[in-house]
Amino acid sequence: MKKVYFKTFGCRTNIYDTQIMIENLKDFEVTKDEKEAEVIVVNSCTVTNGADSGVRSYINGANKRGAKVILAGCGAFSKGEDLFKDKKVFGVMGHSEKENINKLLNEKTRFVEMGDLNSLEKTVVSDYLGKSKAFLKIQEGCNFRCSYCIIPFVRGDARSQDEELILEQVRKLAFNGYGEFVLTGTNIGSYGQDKRSSLGNLVKRISQIRGVRRIRLGSIEPIQIDDSFREILGEPWLEKHLHLALQHTSEEMLKLMKRRNNVKRDLALFEELSSFGYALGTDFITGHPGETQELWNEAYSSLKKFPLTHIHSFVYSKRDGTPSALMKPEIRGDEAKQRLKDVEALVAQKNYEFRENNRVPLEILVEEKKDGIYTGYDQFYNKISIQSERDILKEWVTIENYDVKKEGNYAKFQI
């Protein structure tokens, strides 16, 4: 039986999509060692130019090893045609073809099978290779059209997965020992808009399944926090960390980016959620065209007011085919990078202060062990390093005594 290796780039949705492909294999054996694989499936990301470069570099390396390379994921839409023409990949497959992977990997001739951007897979995932937590893709696609973003054009419009299928999947995963569930998708806050439901209602139903201990949510838009979601804020099974996508804190920049959020409303929402004891993360782009020094000063001043603890920030990367790619003036790279550093330093300090001021018992799912040190994430999505004489890998542990340092939390686990 031929061995296949899956290389996954990018977001949590891609992690789920890789598992969908693994579940649909019949004639191939999955290996964790890419060097022994005859076939390599690259589940790619295309959110930035850097992501494209990383995928291309990896494919070049795989070709040197003589592996048959199949390109899947978002990069199949943005770069698949070029890579296929250059004979860098044997085949290219779109999102809707994941459940056909066994047939495609058996193809004797080179292929491009892009499928459509309307479907949702029906495969029920019951296990995750090498993972201590389970990922659930609850929806696909996005109806927003932010000026800088290519993703709606490679993932399609928003569509919600069938609720009963999601619940069936949770039951199977919980039965197999998974206690933490990470809800993911292109824009999970839109869940249920096409099914007379909502994200809040879905999460409530998931929480009622035996074995579910913690539910973590992917990125949500600020305008998607509705009354049904507010009803679950006090529930013990909801991770005390929420990620709300701001992207910027200048009103003028938000208009240029064609965002739907508003700085004043965003700040009020963040303060409301913070009052419930939540750690709060966000996305932030620096160096988008039009980000003058004056607008940057305004944005940074506003950002200081937000009770943030986590940041996913990046320098603007031009994507061909998006409105932002044509905007002027462009911002110098060194200026954009310095702004990025300023944002990250600000939020790192806020995170440290949050941990110092919230010395509560930490509930941790231990995910890894390296060099004798166990690591995991607490209910606030902060990483902790743990020394333990007993093997606690993939266990839930409660830590009451720990050291808070700028780079993270540290503890010795006592039985």
- Strand (E) or helix (H) holding 169: helix 163-175
Task: For residue range 208-264, list pLDDT tens digits in order.
Answer: 999 999 999 999 999 999 999 999 999 999 999 999 999 999 999 999 999 999 999
Q: What is the chain's Cα-based Rg?
A: 22
Q: Which of 340, 363, 172, 174 is nearest to 248 (CA)?
A: 340
CB atoms under 10 Å from CB of 100, counted, come to 14
The helix/strand/coil state of 11 is: coil
Check: CB of residue 306 under 8 Å from CB of residue 265: no
d(CA 348, CA 212): 31
Distance of CA 176 to the CA centre of its chain: 23
- Type of residue at 203: V
Tell me the CB-side half-sphere exposure of residue 297, using CA atoms within 13 A: 3
Tell me the CB-side half-sphere exposure of residue 200, using CA atoms within 13 A: 12
Q: How many residues make up the chain in this entry?
A: 415
Question: If 0-12 CB within 10 Å is exposed, 13-18 middle and 19+ buried, where does residue 77 land?
Answer: buried
d(CA 310, CA 280): 6
CATH topology identical between 2-113 and 134-357: no
The domain spans of the chain are 2-113, 134-357, 362-412
Tell me the CB-side half-sphere exposure of residue 365, using CA atoms within 13 A: 21
Task: For residue range 114-135, list pLDDT tens digits in order.
Answer: 998 888 888 888 888 677 899 9
Task: For residue range 24-54, list pLDDT tens digits in order.
Answer: 999 999 999 999 999 999 999 887 777 788 9
Name the class of domain 134-357.
alpha beta
Q: Which of 34, 35, 36, 54 is nearest to 44 (CA)?
A: 54
Q: What is the pTM of this model?
A: 0.90
Which CATH code is given to the segment(s) 2-113? 3.40.50.12160
pLDDT at site 266: 97
pLDDT at site 311: 97
389 pLDDT higher than 70: yes
pLDDT at site 415: 67
